[in-house]
Amino acid sequence: MADPAVQLTLLDACCLLNLFATGRIDEFLAAVQGRFAAAERVGAEALYVRRGGDGEDADERDAVDIGPLVARGLLEVLAVETADEAASYVSFAAELDDGEAMTCALALHRGAIVATDDRKALRLLAARAPQIRVRSTAQLLKGWADSANLAPTELRAVLTSVRQRARFAPGRHDPLHSWWEAALRAP
């Protein structure tokens, strides 16, 4: 049974995809303090990453399968449980995709952190629920790299994998854009 006192982070689909693309999401979830979860609608979304690498199959797609992570207790899947959560979910769903909306609604009522890079979701949260803390993919990975003392070569490999397999890099206006780019150039 999850300890409600432990900080809960809800991974939006965009972050989940990016973390999966590291190839080391299980290590990340095991190493970083706190509970991690995905909203039920996020868990149900069909997500894929590129196989990546230098082989001819680099462009092949691999499905994101959270089943093993859930089975190992590293990731929870959470559903709307109360009338208030349902009302919030519907309210957010008028502006966001259902998975994003459910993530925000659950975070609002459970005091959770939202992990997302989505500009519209971030703007909506800032306007409607500024008390909700948010984390970006870059913040999550930097936190992990710092606490796990990842070697520069390891970190470079992780970020390269995210870029190649998930087609993601933080935008120019992201506060950690410079950190990300510098880490990619590290020898």
Using CB atoms within 10 Å of the CB of residue 184, give its burial: 0 to 12 exposed, 13 to 18 middle, 19+ buried. Answer: middle
Tell me whether residue 47 or residue 155 sits nearer to another protein (CB atom).
47
Contact call for residues 181 and 187 (beta carbons, < 8 A): no
Tell me whether residue 65 or residue 146 sits nearer to another protein (CB atom).
65
Q: How many CB atoms lie within 10 A of CB 121?
A: 22
Least separation in angstroms between residue 3's CB and another protein is 28
Tell me whether residue 47 or residue 158 sits nearer to another protein (CB atom).
47
Tell me whether residue 69 or residue 105 sits nearer to another protein (CB atom).
105
Least separation in angstroms between residue 57's CB and another protein is 15
Tell me how far CA of residue 24 lies from CA of 116, 124, 152, in angstroms. Answer: 18, 30, 16
Q: Give Cα 173 to chain centroid, integer Å.
A: 19
Using CB atoms within 10 Å of the CB of residue 163, give its burial: 0 to 12 exposed, 13 to 18 middle, 19+ buried. Answer: middle
Phi, psi angle pair for 133, to nearest 5°: -80, 145
Least separation in angstroms between residue 33's CB and another protein is 27
DSSP 4: T
Least separation in angstroms between residue 122's CB and another protein is 8
Tell me whether residue 72 or residue 123 sits nearer to another protein (CB atom).
123
Site for another protein, rule CB under 8 A: 13-14, 17, 45-50, 61, 80, 83, 86-101, 108, 118-121, 123, 128-129, 166-168
Least separation in angstroms between residue 147's CB and another protein is 28
